[in-house]
Structure 1
Amino acid sequence: MYRTEDVLTRAHSACGQGTVYWLGEGGRSADAALPTSALPVGQLWPTLPLAQQHALEPLALAAGLDVHDPALVVPACDCSGFVCWALGFGRKSNPAPYTDDAGWIYTDSIWADAMGAGVRFERRARATPGALVVYPKAGSGENYGHVGLVMEADADGRARLVAHCSAVNFKVAPFDAIKITSPELFEQQPRSIYAWCRSVG
């Protein structure tokens, strides 16, 4: 069991590492020094749909990444991978009420568990440091769900700062998908809730 202070320290340590956002990456092992996976972007680039290449190439160029270099490997993560690693467990386990059928923990499974059985994630009315703020893809009107870790909260129980891994974070310098930002991204989504991981003491 991790203490809240441990979770916040881990989240801080992942910032400033030049992480690229890539869906499905990161968070495989809680024992890893960072939440990221080594992603062979240079090899994967030609397999991406052209529309995706056109959207991503300007970001890569701005960050100084040559996506046409077949040897290019970058640290990559997504929001669920980052959060699971910060909380001290891998994002894949045996199937459970807080995973999908294959055992993967992701935004919709975290949200559903917190809104329902509360086996691993219980809903909270107020934000506190170490809590999650999460919304699902389902019913949100967005292409993906999103989850972050509350780093600071105000006296009214609202998040003030959130650590999260997001493609949006990578769009502005310093080019890093893992940043600590305002909670605006989550406050704009009506399905956002606060949740607490039961393995944090």
Structure 2
Amino acid sequence: MTAPKVAVLDYGSGNLRSAQRALARVGADVTVTSDLAAARAADGLVVPGVGAFAACMAGITAVGGAAVIRERVARGRPVLGICVGMQVLYDLGDEHGVRTPGLGVLTGEVRRLAAPILPHMGWNTVAPPAGTVLFDGLPEAVRFYFVHSYAAKPTPEDTVAEHGEPFAAAVERGPLCATQFHPEKSGDPGRQLLANWLGTLR
């Protein structure tokens, strides 16, 4: 069986190589690229991201990635956002009073967590909804690795974690998936989640 082709979008942000290595370990044929034709053609597109929402959106826009991500979502082609790569999928990011439009393929706003200690950094449990694909085969109260101060409010269909308040730890909207945590830094559970996502590309 041919390995699924995965493109990790290079727009100047994110743990590109660690995401690449983690996906390769679970059987993907991975390319880190800013080439839009490759991003369009891949079986799956990964949108990584670290740092500020506004900076990530600026980087995505600068390489022309916004149109490709929206196009893939509209056509039902798989996309996986990671950390700030998840956040930019929402309508809006509000950081330090600066409101930055996001990609708008997920409904909602990304705001600072109401928590006594920020960033939320380290291992935390998540509560997936029934029927999840990403978390299939993982035990209850499984832990993943988070590093963030901002997040979106969860909907009833989202995977939820809590740090000061409940927030969306992962979303699954058919071919559009995203995680607020870093699966590539989350050991065996992260590998299983990435393998599950890869399985949706076959």
Q: Report the TM-score range of the alignment, normalised by the length of the smaller protein.
A: under 0.3
TM-score by length of 2: 0.26
Q: TM-score when scaled to structure 1?
A: 0.26
Structure number with greater CO (CA < 8 Å, separation at least 6) is 1
Q: Which structure has more strand as a fraction of its residues?
A: 2
Computing the radius of gyration from Cα coordinates, the structure with the larger value is 1
